[in-house]
Amino acid sequence: MMSDLRDWTIASASDALEKGEVSSVELTGAFIEAMEAGRTLNAFITETPELARERAAESDARRKNGDARGPMDGVPIAMKDLFCTEGVRTTAASHILDNFIPTYESTVSGNLRDAGSVMLGKTNLDEFAMGSANITSYFGSVKNPWTPEGANANLVPGGSSGGSVAAVSGGLAIAATGTDTGGSIRQPASFTGLVGMKPTYGRCSRWGVVAFASSLDQAGPLTRNVEDAAIMLQAMAGHDPKDSTSLPLDMPDCRAACTRDAKGLRVGIPKEYTLDSMPAEIQKLWDQGAQWFRDMGADVVEVSLPHTKYALPTYYIVAPAEASSNLARYDGVRYGFRKDGASLDEMYELTRGEGFGAEVQRRVMIGTYVLSAGYYDAYYVKAQQVRTLIAEDFKKVFNDVDVLLTPTAPSAAFFEGEKMDDPIAMYLNDVFTVPASLAGLPAISVPGGLDTSGLPLGLQLISGVCQEETLFRAASALEEAAGFTARPGEMA
Amino acid sequence: MTYLIQGETGDWEVVIGLEVHAQAITNAKLFSGAPATFGAGPNENVSLIDAAMPGMLPVINEMAIEQAVRTGLGLRAAINKYSVFERKNYFYADLPQGYQISQYLHPIVGEGVVTLDLSDGSTRDVGIERLHLEQDAGKSIHDQDPKRSMIDLNRAGVVLMEIVSKPDIRSPEEAGAYLKKLRAILRYLGTCDGNMEEGSMRADVNVSVRPKGADELRTRVEVKNVNSVRFVMQAIEVEAERQVEVWEDGDEVVQETRLFDPNKGETRAMRTKEFAHDYRYFPDPDLLPVRFDDDFIERIKATLPELPDDKKDRFINDMGLSAYDAGVLVADRETAAYFEDAAKGRDAKTVANWLTTNLFGALKKLDKGIGESPVSAIHLGELVGLIEDETISTKIAKDVFEEMLKTSKAPGDIVEEKGLKQITDTGAIEAIVDQVIADNPEQADEVRGGNDKAIGWFVGQVMKASQGKANPGQVNGLLRAKLLG
Amino acid sequence: MSLTKDDVRKIAFLARIRVPDERLEPLAGELNNIVGWVEQLGEVNTDGVEPMTSVVETETPMRKDEVTEGGITDKVLSNAPDGEGPFYGVPKVVE
């Protein structure tokens, strides 16, 4: 067994399991210990050690019989607590679902289970995935493993998939699932030195995933490296007839694409992603990224996505509107928390008033407002029109380039308590990730380097619809050029 | 036939529009694979989707789309090749998602028309505004517990077609005729069983009144969930009268939803607060717009049966029936089919007569529908055939028909068994005629003396002597030849 | 466009979220900030632009009309906060 669990990747674990150097039971046992020892991170809402041991034993038995199911078989992973898991409490980090035990398994978690992976537990997140710092969870904030020793406050891990990145980055799991609505995979990956990938909208089934904003939600992997992301995505994705928006297409071989170099790749640098307020070191890393691509023989050109600045406000109309409707089912009648009232309406109001946290309430109300009579056209329809323009911007640009290179987030991880009194300041975290979400494009965050205080910064690559192979090709090249090896607790 | 309400200030006209919720005939629900059938135990026909469990997603049932298009074609309506499912957001205990998936800006069927057959044989066209698909809600049961309502989601998600008429209806009678005709069309098409008692067809009635001759539309009131044709007619009557009173008292009719109480024969305002209803419709992001091409429509068109209006025209023009008889026969698909089976190769008018005068009356007495008729269509046709080929007289036929009702036997067998066959052998009839003349010399002299009318008496005597079996025409001829010739 | 305390009360009721009276005013402020911020979309010329309906253009998938679910009353009710026999219970509704 490796002394530092953070040395394990999906690929290396799969290799070691195949060679018989380690059993899934051993590997899983080590991660269960780490999970228990790492509770200060608050990465997990629900730990499932018994289930994990059981599945690990099953995996070992399969392997012994020569029935191993591929590279995920026996690999211990963490599951964002937004995926419904049969018989295992699923909360969406909300009081309103804190006692909910699904009788069904989401397609994505089911795919991962069928691929043989071992679920260690359900990870913390922003309530209903609404947040960029993992500070809105009913189960408490998640601590970023990169938090310097002796700091007065915790660094946030980013959000909403904060528990998942903390678990992987802190060595409590080899990989984890995330979901991304406006950046909830990529931004926390950037904050913790991980790879976070959001596929084309429709690649991963949304069936059984607690919905935030249906037209934006996509599941994806959070891993230590690009190859792992390709392996895990392969297991998660695929057409699902139970999701009407699922793409009826097979996933290309993204792992194979990771071995190709970047020579001749056309890389676009969208000029509108330059922000006045952006720290110089992020601009520097971005420039460095472009240089790496040039050095590898790629063509790097400046491109224009003129409607970029409208992406965030568009997102903050569309996502809350859909959320206000998606969250209407949490009414205390069929499952979840209920606060009794004298009348039906009072029961609804008390249940939802106590069951939802402040940020969720705020977004549900914004969404209710922008859909309401007299405002629908001015806000919702307008936003969906702008969304069309944003998608068209991308479409045009991808006639000329293969991928776009941008920073993942406008800052490194910040301390809990910062940006808290102004929702809009918090929303700005997603300024670089939201445009690809609105257009449904695949995008990935790859660790690029450290800022002056030693915190990781990610670079984002975006490709055209269903161009995941190109995306992985570019991402693995970038990864190699960046040579990012830093780990939390080993900061200079 | 204008329907007017006499108020104290003058005559008032009623303006009516109907919204009919018709449950489409499908095996499964609109967006889930749970059964759409009636009669299951509470919450048995419920899938995780119907219960709106977290993360559950809808997938369209293709039959729902087909049935809507089929119905649209039957209503001679525009079919929209692009339609969109939207969410209608509101909270209610039997609405698990917190929204109903419905169609709003882009319904699957646009404007069409329903032709009413009125009791005086005239017709009148009522416009159809639209038809859209939507999910039914569940059921709240209020009478099981003093403090709580119980929710059963068996109906939640069942396919409904909401058929909205234009405000073209002007009387309770027309409203009744509209419902009956719509129901007939749906049943012909096989898209809805039209069973109002079971709730597979329900009507919301929009009623307003205005002074006779006025063009304005005044505030309308929606009377919800009226579950029989008779109640719809009654509800309109009492609601219109109530509104006339309100206006004449100098008050304003308020736009509201009311319920019809058939026991009290009145409408009352619903207590559920309509306050601040704002449905916040927006396209359901879990579903893509529905698109299909002309081929799809043509394929469905090819499967359409002959519809009541076409059938009626054919009955009148090709079969020679009166508009009234044709209207009566086509009103129900089974009756029309029965008629057509019976009339095959027979005189259609005679068959229609037997149906409307004899069979309908008999079935009513027996409290049976046409499907349970002891007299099959084939047998009724045979009976008319026996009259046509003079095997029996119309009078004997009536006796045979009574026997058919009792025994369900073929008329030919009954005639055979009971020896009712008409006597057409001239020799046999002549023998009876001679005997009757011989037995009644005085009456015979009277006829010979020029009293033509007395010949009728002789016909009766001969028929009596033959136990009704002699051919009356032949009897008449022979008597005339012998007495007057 | 500025939301008043009353607007917020109305929205909160539409969303069925109980907001204590003293929170209405500050919430109006928060919502106004956000609404004011998203209103910059007004600058964009969207004449003749179709609103986005789906990210990827694909055919609407449809299900065959087959019964594949149902008969799982226990699962449907297993998380019910007020399950009474085979029903969900709610405070009495008067129609």
Instruction: Tell whether C65 lies on the interface with B, counting CB pairs under 8 A.
Output: yes
B260 three-class SS: strand
Spatial contact of A318 and A380, defined as CB atoms under 8 Å apart = yes
* Of B89, B282, B288, Cβ closest to residue A328: B89
- Amino acid in position A110: G
**Tokens read off for B130:** 């639209």
Characterize B248-279 residue by residue with b for buried, 16 or more Cβ atoms within 10 angstroms of its Cβ, and e for exposed.
eeeeebeeebbbbeeeeebbeebeeeeeeebb
| CATH of B426-483 given 1.10.287.3510, 3.10.20.600, 1.20.1730.10, 1.10.10.410 | 1.10.10.410
Q: State the nearest Cα–Cα gap between A201 and chain B, in angstroms.
A: 12
Tell me the C-alpha distance between A222 and A203, whole Å.
16
A419 annotated active-site: no
Given a cut of 90, is residue A277 above it in pLDDT?
Answer: no
Average pLDDT rounded to a whole number, residues A236-248:
96
**Tokens read off for A296:** 């590898």
The sheet that has B139-141: what strands, in order across it? B139-141, B148-152, C87-91, C83-84
Instruction: Tell whether B42 lies on the interface with A, counting CB pairs under 8 A.
Output: no
Length of chain B equals 485
Q: State the nearest Cα–Cα gap between A214 and chain B, in angstroms.
A: 6
**Between A and B, how many residue pairs show a Cβ–Cβ distance under 8 A?**
99
Domains of chain A (ranges; CATH) run 5-260 (3.90.1300.10), 309-385 (no CATH)
Is the Cβ pair C44, A353 closer than 8 Å?
no
Helices (H), A214-279: 226-236, 254-257
Spatial contact of A263 and A298, defined as CB atoms under 8 Å apart = yes
Helices (H), A268-341: 280-295, 311-326
Tell me whether residue A347 is exposed, middle or buried, using C-beta atoms within 10 angstroms of its C-beta: 0 to 12, 13 to 18, 19 or more.
buried
* Of C70, C77, C91, Cβ closest to residue B47: C70
In sequence order, what are the residues at sequence separation of 6 or more whose Cβ sits closer than 8 angstroms to the Cβ of residue B410?
B379, B382
Tell me the C-alpha distance between B138 and B160, whole Å.
13
pLDDT at residue A356 in the model: 98
Whether complex ipTM tops 0.85 = yes
pLDDT at residue B389 in the model: 86
Tell me the pLDDT band of C63, cut-offs 50, 70 and 90: very high
Is the Cβ pair A325, B48 closer than 8 Å?
no
Mode of pairing for the β-strands spanning A44-47 and B201-211: unpaired
Backbone angles phi, psi at A217, to 5 degrees: -60, 130
pLDDT at residue B276 in the model: 54
* Of the candidate ranges A136-145, A175-184, A396-405, B195-204, the one whose mean pLDDT is the lowest: B195-204
Tell me the C-alpha distance between A391 and B56, whole Å.
27
Given a cut of 60, is residue A401 above it in pLDDT?
Answer: yes
The per-residue pLDDT for range A49-104, each reduced to its tens digit, is 999 999 999 999 999 999 999 999 999 999 999 999 999 999 999 999 999 999 99
Is the Cβ pair C61, B32 closer than 8 Å?
no
Which of A327, A359, A386 should we substitute to test contact with C (largest number of C Cβ atoms within 10 Å)? A386
Is the Cβ pair A352, C18 closer than 8 Å?
yes
A184 annotated active-site: yes
Identify which has the larger pLDDT, A18 or B121.
Answer: A18
Tell me the pLDDT band of A204, cut-offs 50, 70 and 90: very high
**Tokens read off for B110:** 């646009």
A109 three-class SS: helix
Neighboring chains of C (3 or more beta-carbon pairs < 8 A) = A, B
In sequence order, what are the residues at sequence separation of 6 or more whose Cβ sits closer than 8 angstroms to the Cβ of residue B205?
B16, B17, B18, B19, B175, B222, B223, B226, B232, B235, B236, B239
The per-residue pLDDT for range A351-394, each reduced to its tens digit, is 999 999 999 999 999 999 999 988 999 999 999 999 999 999 99
Spatial contact of B301 and A397, defined as CB atoms under 8 Å apart = no
**Tokens read off for B126:** 């009522």
Backbone angles phi, psi at A272, to 5 degrees: -70, -10
What is the rounded radius of gyration, in angstroms, for the C-alpha atoms of chain C?
A: 22
Is the Cβ pair C91, B146 closer than 8 Å?
no
**Tokens read off for B6:** 């006499």
Q: State the nearest Cα–Cα gap between C16 and chain A, in angstroms.
A: 5
pLDDT at residue B272 in the model: 58
In this structure, how many other beta carbons lie within 10 angstroms of the beta carbon of residue A31?
28
**Tokens read off for A52:** 């994990």
For chain B, domain boundaries: 4-299, 306-418, 426-483
In this structure, how many other beta carbons lie within 10 angstroms of the beta carbon of residue B450?
8
Is the Cβ pair B151, C90 closer than 8 Å?
yes
In this structure, how many other beta carbons lie within 10 angstroms of the beta carbon of residue B4?
13
In this structure, how many other beta carbons lie within 10 angstroms of the beta carbon of residue A437?
29
Characterize A449-475 residue by residue with b for buried, 16 or more Cβ atoms within 10 angstroms of its Cβ, and e for exposed.
bbbeeebbbbbbbbbbbbbbbbbbbbb
Residue B151 per-residue DSSP state: E
Neighboring chains of A (3 or more beta-carbon pairs < 8 A) = B, C
pLDDT at residue B452 in the model: 75
Given a cut of 50, is residue A492 above it in pLDDT?
Answer: no
**This prediction's pTM:** 0.92
Chain position carrying tokens 């690029």? A448
Characterize B343-363 residue by residue with b for buried, 16 or more Cβ atoms within 10 angstroms of its Cβ, and e for exposed.
beebebebbbebbbebbeebb
- Amino acid in position A95: H
Chain C residues whose CB is inside 8 A of the A241 CB are 61, 63
Question: How many CA atoms are closer than 13 Å to the CA of C77, on its beta-carbon side?
Answer: 21
A80 annotated active-site: yes
Which of C44, C63, C78 should we substitute to test contact with A (largest number of A Cβ atoms within 10 Å)? C44
Is the Cβ pair B34, C70 closer than 8 Å?
yes
Neighboring chains of B (3 or more beta-carbon pairs < 8 A) = A, C
User: Of A63, A31, A87, A99, which Cα lies nearest the Cα of A335?
Assistant: A99
Task: Name the catalytic one among A59, A80, A137, A164.
Answer: A80
Spatial contact of C70 and B33, defined as CB atoms under 8 Å apart = yes
Average pLDDT rounded to a whole number, residues A282-306:
97
* Of A333, A353, A423, Cβ closest to residue C34: A423
Is the Cβ pair A344, B93 closer than 8 Å?
yes
Task: Say what percent of chain A tops pLDDT 90.
Answer: 92
pLDDT at residue C28 in the model: 95
Given a cut of 70, is residue A423 above it in pLDDT?
Answer: yes
pLDDT (tens place) for every residue of chain B, 485 residues total = 589 999 999 999 999 999 999 999 999 999 999 999 988 999 999 999 999 999 999 999 999 999 999 999 999 999 999 999 999 999 999 999 999 999 999 999 999 999 998 888 788 999 999 999 999 999 999 988 888 999 999 999 999 999 999 999 999 999 999 999 999 999 999 999 999 988 899 999 999 999 999 999 999 999 988 889 999 999 999 999 999 999 999 999 998 899 999 999 999 988 655 555 799 999 999 999 999 999 999 999 999 999 999 999 999 999 999 988 998 999 889 999 999 999 999 999 999 999 999 999 999 999 999 999 999 999 999 999 999 988 888 888 999 999 999 999 999 999 888 877 877 778 888 888 888 888 888 888 888 887 777 888 888 888 888 888 888 888 888 888 888 87
Chain C residues whose CB is inside 8 A of the B34 CB are 67, 69-70
Is the Cβ pair A241, B55 closer than 8 Å?
no
User: Of A420, A181, A177, which Cα lies nearest the Cα of A319?
Assistant: A181
| B333-343 and B377-388 helices, crossing angle to 10° | 40
Topology at the third CATH level for domain C5-41: Histone, subunit A (1.10.20)
Characterize C38-77 residue by residue with b for buried, 16 or more Cβ atoms within 10 angstroms of its Cβ, and e for exposed.
beebeebebeebebbbbbbeeebbbbebebebbbbbebbb
Average pLDDT rounded to a whole number, residues A481-490:
89
pLDDT at residue A491 in the model: 40
Tell me the C-alpha distance between B229 and B178, whole Å.
9
Given a cut of 80, is residue A1 above it in pLDDT?
Answer: no
Q: State the nearest Cα–Cα gap between B292 and chain C, in angstroms.
A: 9
Spatial contact of B300 and B66, defined as CB atoms under 8 Å apart = yes
pLDDT at residue B477 in the model: 86
Q: Residue A453 belongs to what H/E stretch?
A: none
DSSP string for A342-382? SSHHHHHHHHHHHHS-HHHHHHHHHHHHHHSTTTHIIIIIH
